[in-house]
Amino acid sequence: MKPKFLSGIGALLAAMLIVGAIFVPVVSATTSENVQDNIADGNALGLIGQKGDDFLDCHGWLTKETNWIRYGGWANCSYEAGYLSVKATLLNRDTAEKMSHTANSAQHVDSLQTQDNLEAHPPAGRYHVLTEAWSLQPSHDVLHYSPVTTWP
Amino acid sequence: MTKKFVGTLLVLCIIGILIVAGTQFAGPAGILPIDPAFTPSSETTTPTIKTPAVGDNITEAEAKAIAAAALPEIVRVETAKVRLEHTQDGRGEHCLFEVTDYNSTVKQAQVWVDAQTREVTGFAVHIPDQGRPADPAVTMAEACTIAEEFLADRGETAGLAAAVGKHYSPHTIERTGETVAGHYTVDFPRSIRGVPCFWDGCTIDVDAVTGEIRYYYRIWSLDATRCKGDTEPVITAEDAEERAGTYLRETYGDLPGLAFHSATLVWADCLAPTTGEVPFAWKIPFDDDYDRSLDSPRTDIAFVDARNGTVLSCNYYRRSTA
């Protein structure tokens, strides 16, 4: 009786170990993906849906940091374009000043992004990024305004 | 025999517990690296942005429907895209759905929908610049009237100060470098007890050729009860300018060509902490020879407390490359 009882406990523990070894990594992996999603959203880049039959899409972003506004932009094509250009300009809504810009261009690409740029200690005001992208072969133009961010 | 078997079981249990614990706590290390271009550098001090609970927000489908109702001639639910935008700035944290419809070659649009209140906080309408005339067909005065009528139609004139025709911006076609007629920007600052706010209010762009509304954005975040005290300034505008000038000279030395422009009284919501009283201040735009020499001339702003004359903010910055 006693050896059988102990064997039963042993089998149960072995089964729990096998289930744990399979189940826990799966749950952990799911959690990691969720954390990743949250970080991406935190950078204002959470693309939720990108359907539609338009060829060219562009997007500008900006974040308020301690001593500067960091900003940039990107452009995406549905398929490879012969030439693609993207320019992100930081604008002061209060004065219409073009504070600075960052740009990029390339041949035979389907996506492109600018380097981040920093505008240090801008005057108090409301800022947004105007992103302008255009392509050749095929020829398309597109504009995008980011939401407004206040400074300081 | 039995003791040996129990001992083996115990060893197996300890190994199992160690495996399970190790797998559980190794979770964060398993996060995939983010695209480097989207990762703030080590110098970044961006505050951590919390993702609002799902239950707090409207859905993507609802955001599309709201945007389509706001601009029915451009935005269609079938072709619109949705992005979720988080913003953390001086006003706190905001969560907006940005609905875009670039499907048409004639008019394209962006609509921003507050993810929690369902309010349309802004929109932009893009039309091709190619073929536009070089000069405006609409005057600034007409643009102000158009903007006023637009807000009246939306029932949004309450709590706003009179229209301020801010500036005219020609458009440069990026592809060709050609400059064509652009838009006028008209501001409607939010008015609290007869004094305009610096941040809060509506800003509208009116097409300088067609007179259409091309851009609308509304910021409305200040708690009016934080604007306290007498709204009659103790310090005159001239006195405030003099104090700002003294501060600038003492802080930055002699600034050649320093000039102050039309001081106005505001609630300096830009300088207030997230709670507490909002300063009642003189807003004084200023520039100097350096500011005016920039490709896009810069206007700095000084804020001087209108009750006690304290210089609240007088930020002046020169790029080291200039």
- What does the pLDDT look like over B45-60, one tens digit per residue? 333 333 444 456 789 9
Q: How far apart are CA B207 and CA B125, in angstroms?
A: 10
Per the model's pLDDT, the better-predicted residue between A112 and A7 turns out to be A112
ipTM above 0.85, yes or no: no
Q: How far apart are CA B128 and CA A143, in angstroms?
A: 10
Number of H helices, E strands in chain B: 5, 13
DSSP A60-75: EEEEE-SSEEEEEEEE
- pTM for this predicted structure: 0.72
Average pLDDT rounded to a whole number, residues B10-30: 47
Interface test with A, best of B59, B60, B78, B86 (most A CBs within 10 A): B86
Q: How far apart are CA A139 and CA A152, in angstroms?
A: 39
Residue reference for tokens 């409301």: A126
Residue reference for tokens 């389907």: A110
Whether the pLDDT of residue A2 is over 80: the answer is no
B287-301 burial, b if ≥16 CB within 10 A, otherwise e?
bbebbeebeeebbbb
pLDDT band of residue A44 (cuts 50, 70, 90) is very low
Whether the pLDDT of residue B113 is over 70: the answer is yes
Chain A contact present for B24, CB below 8 A: yes
Q: Can you give the pLDDT at residue B12?
A: 59
Contacts of residue B86 in chain A, CB cutoff 8 Å? 41-42, 44, 46
Q: How far apart are CA B210 and CA B137, in angstroms?
A: 7
8 A C-beta contact, residue A124 and residue A142? no
Average pLDDT rounded to a whole number, residues B101-121: 89
AA identity, residue A86: V
Whether the pLDDT of residue B282 is over 80: the answer is yes
Lowest mean pLDDT among B15-24, B37-46, B222-231, B290-299: B37-46
CB contacts under 8 A, A 74-103 vs B, are 85, 87, 93-99
Is A56-151 assigned to CATH 2.60.40.10? yes
The helix (run of H) or strand (run of E) holding residue A32 is helix A2-42
Residue A86's DSSP bridge partners are A104, A133
pLDDT tens column, B206-252: 999 999 999 999 999 888 999 998 899 999 999 999 999 999 999 98
Of all residues in chain A, the percent with pLDDT exceeding 70 is 65
CB contact under 8 A, B13 and A13: yes
8 A C-beta contact, residue B114 and residue B123? no
Closest CA to A71 of A51, A36, A43: A43
Angle at the Cα of A63 from the Cα atoms of A59 and A69, rounded to 5 degrees = 110
Nearest to B91 among A98, A144, A150 (CB): A150
Q: Can you give the pLDDT at residue A27?
A: 37
Q: What is the DSSP letter of B36?
A: G
pLDDT tens column, B74-86: 999 998 999 988 8
Chain A contact present for B127, CB below 8 A: no
CB contacts under 8 A, A 44-73 vs B, are 44-54, 56-57, 59, 63-66, 70, 72
User: What residues contact B122, with CB distance under 8 A and at least 6 apart?
Assistant: A147, A148, B111, B112, B215, B216, B217, B218
CB contact under 8 A, B103 and A53: yes
Q: Can you give the pLDDT at residue B317?
A: 81
CB contact under 8 A, B102 and A42: no
Q: Can you give the pLDDT at residue B46?
A: 32
Q: How far apart are CA B207 and CA B3, in angstroms?
A: 89
Whether the pLDDT of residue A28 is over 80: the answer is no
Q: Can you give the pLDDT at residue B88?
A: 78
Interface test with A, best of B2, B9, B23, B251 (most A CBs within 10 A): B23
CB contact under 8 A, A13 and B20: no
Q: Can you give the pLDDT at residue B9?
A: 57
Q: Can you give the pLDDT at residue A10?
A: 61
Q: Can you give the pLDDT at residue B55?
A: 52
Contacts 24+ apart (CB under 8 A), B239-243: B239/B309, B240/B282, B240/B284, B240/B304, B240/B306, B240/B309, B241/B282, B241/B284, B241/B304, B243/B304, B243/B309, B243/B311
Whether the pLDDT of residue A8 is over 90: the answer is no
Nearest to A97 among B34, B96, B298 (CB): B298
pLDDT band of residue B40 (cuts 50, 70, 90) is very low
Chain A contact present for B264, CB below 8 A: no
Q: Can you give the pLDDT at residue A152?
A: 83
Interface test with B, best of A1, A4, A43, A74 (most B CBs within 10 A): A43
Whether the pLDDT of residue B24 is over 80: the answer is no
Whether the pLDDT of residue B315 is over 90: the answer is no
Nearest to B89 among A47, A123, A150 (CB): A150
pLDDT band of residue A38 (cuts 50, 70, 90) is very low
pLDDT band of residue B34 (cuts 50, 70, 90) is very low
pLDDT tens column, B124-169: 999 888 889 999 999 999 999 999 999 999 888 889 988 888 889 9
What burial class does residue A44 get, using C-beta atoms within 10 Å of its C-beta: 0-12 exposed, 13-18 middle, 19+ buried? buried
Domain boundaries, chain A: 1-43, 56-151
pLDDT tens column, B175-191: 888 999 999 999 999 99
CB contact under 8 A, B49 and A53: no
Q: Where are the alpha helices (DSSP H) in chain B?
A: 2-25, 60-70, 140-154, 237-252, 289-293
Q: Phi and psi dihedrals of B99, rounded to 5?
A: -105, 125
8 A C-beta contact, residue B71 and residue B123? yes
* Neighbouring C-beta atoms of residue A98, cutoff 10 Å: 16
CB contacts under 8 A, B 142-201 vs A, are 166-167, 169, 174-175, 185, 187, 198-199
AA identity, residue B296: S
Q: Can you give the pLDDT at residue B322?
A: 43
Q: Can you give the pLDDT at residue B129?
A: 86
Q: Can you give the pLDDT at residue B132?
A: 92
